Amino acid sequence: MRKSLLVLLLWAPLASALIPPPGPRLDHTTQQAIQRFLLHNRIFDSPQDLDNAPYIIAAGTGRVLGANDERVHARGNLDPSQPIYGIFRRGKAYTDPRTQELLGVNADDIGTARFITAGDLSTLAVQRITQEIRPGDRLFRAPSPIALHSLDAAQPGPFIEGTIIDVPKGVTQIGVLDAVTLNKGRRDGLAEGQLLSVIKAGARVRDALTGALVTLPDARAGTLLVFRTYEKLSYGLVLNASQPLAVQDRFETAAKHNE
């Protein structure tokens, strides 16, 4: 009994040392910002994912203005147990800046609607709109919420580098708590909860003495948190930035710097 107790006492500190320390915790405001962003932004791995979804036929009066509480009719396989559907429209297609491979399609948020009745033409009541609803706009059930606690515990994976290819809200200079689209996803090894370093390319300056152009070293400019991954794309949240970030800035995982 004493021997077992001694082994347990010796093992406890070792076991604690083997447990990886938690990553940076997100405050409630940041967590809410992520959830709100995901309600209004969606990526689909292929255009077919959009083309195969249920779609709006018309508003109840034959118009498609989609005012709040207006009834709209839709065709397609809607689930009566799903109370709320997001209304989306095909947006920009994302391609890899190097290979030109199609990585996915952005869907623009049009609004939300509440399911009313099913049938050959299902009926929904518009709850929120960002712009006029049009025939052909697609309906998708609300995305599953992120397990936010998992963002605190993700461990570094293989070294990955890529490029910021878009800012969904359309700003040109990216700052803290802005969300960005990355050209890497699950197939590349990115996981929700990973931290990435943003690298800005060194500027080209002219040597005042020789007149020659000199490229300054690349420099770290900020940190991203990957909070949603798709097959070939991901969303990242800027946690900190020492200077404004921009589309085409490079990112990389921390693994390379730990070797």
Structure tokens at 122: 């299902």
Return the H-helix or E-strand segment holding 117. Answer: strand 102-117
| Mean pLDDT within 128-155 | 76
Q: What helix, strand, coil percent values describe the chain, rounded to 5? A: 20, 40, 45
- CA pair distance 218, 216, nearest whole angstrom: 7
Parallel, antiparallel, or unpaired: how do β-strands 102-117 and 195-200 relate?
unpaired
The answer, yes or no, to whether residue 230 has pLDDT greater than 80, is yes
Question: At a CB cut-off of 8 Å and minimum separation 6, what does 214 contact?
Answer: 204, 205, 206, 207
Contact, 92 vs 106, CB < 8 A?
Answer: yes
Using DSSP's 3-state secondary structure scheme, residue 159 falls into coil
Superfamily in which the 147-258 domain is placed by CATH = FlgT, C-terminal domain (2.40.10.410)
Neighbours of 174 (CB within 10 A): 23
Using CA atoms, how far residue 86 sits from 49, 56, 102, 208, 230, in Å, is 15, 11, 24, 57, 19
Dig out the tokens for 59 from the structure. Answer: 């508003």
Does residue 168 have a pLDDT over 50? Answer: yes
Q: Which of 8-12, 104-108, 197-201, 203-207 has the lowest mean pLDDT?
A: 8-12
Q: What average pLDDT does range 135-161 have in this prediction?
A: 74
Question: What is the predicted pLDDT for the residue at 171?
Answer: 72
Q: Where does CATH 2.40.10.410 sit in the chain?
A: 147-258
